[in-house]
Structure 1
Amino acid sequence: MLHVTRTTSDNLDFRELVQLLDQDLSVRDGVEHAFYAQFNKIDKIRHAVVAYYNNQLVGCGAFREFSKEQVEIKRMFVRPEYRGQGVAQAVLAELERWAQELHYTGYVLETGKKQPEAIRLYEKSGYKLIPSYGQYVNVENSVCMQNQA
């Protein structure tokens, strides 16, 4: 059974999965990883979720305020052996619910062209492509997306 729990970036399970995420992205992004890593520090993230399947740690995600109306979805990861089983969708849905409870009305995110499964998840969840924002402007690998509550 899948269970998703709200927490903070201080949670050790969240930190464990973020380390695995960073290892995966390091391989996918190659030399570009250092550029992205500087924007993915978790020390300022106060809203994180972790997912457990039959008490096994399987996935995570987080958000931070992007504007007064929107949050930025960050640090989404599911262990490879649990992908395709609805874990990422459950994590994303919980993040969106939490943001709505805090009166945010939309979500933005950045992912990479080298993460096609992430792009498919977000498209399936109603996210649409938008122009690259902030530090991602003119970054060839970046894919920015948005959705409304």
Structure 2
Amino acid sequence: MEIKIDDLTGKEIIELIGEHLQGMSLNSPPESIHALDLDNLKKTEITFWSVWEEGQLAGCGALKELNKKHGELKSMRTSSNHLRKGVARKLLHHIIEEAKQRGYLTISLETGSMEAFMPARKLYESFEFRYCKPFADYQEDPNSVFMEKELSHFYME
């Protein structure tokens, strides 16, 4: 699998973001959807990656800088043709390592509380994300859960 920064202009990634947004609307009420559209994913505070396997788009994810010490995981999605192949696990590891390189102390996320989001929550739990209160501009919402991971930094002297 190859992970690369994506400019969000390719046909495949545009379709996957559309699939992501559609999935959110099928599983969440409109007021509880926090997924970003293409224009918002192109903002300067967001780095967006795509995952490719043998020339096929396998997944995507993004890291939004909330401040110099805090990042937010956004738009994690695995293509339906690549489910259960480790795409999300590999990408999440990549994004966490990037957050550490940037010097972030915490990486946070919002995801749905419904059953459809259970696989995502299990993935985040396996990476030692812990449930927390809303962060940034989020508000308490029965349709959302909030998670965070404290990042450890090891420095060689």
Question: For 1:110 and 1:25, how far apart are their aligned partners in 2?
Answer: 12
Any gaps of 5 or more consecutive residues in structure 2? Answer: 152-157
Residue of structure 2 in register with 1:145 after alignment: 147
Question: How many residues of Structure 1 are paired with residues of Structure 2 in the alignment?
Answer: 144
Matches within 5 A, 1:1-149: 2-8=1-7, 10-12=8-10, 13-29=12-28, 32-37=29-34, 40=36, 41-44=40-43, 46-114=46-114, 115-149=117-151
Displacement after TM superposition at 1:101 (Å):
2.0
Residue of structure 1 in register with 2:154 after alignment: none
Compute the TM-score of the two structures, normalised by the length of structure 1. Answer: 0.86
Larger-gyration structure (1/2):
2
Question: For 1:142 and 1:148, how far apart are their aligned partners in 2?
Answer: 20
CA root-mean-square deviation: 1.9
Any gaps of 5 or more consecutive residues in structure 1? Answer: none
Displacement after TM superposition at 1:79 (Å):
1.5
Contact residue 63 and residue 95 of structure 2 kept, 8 A: yes
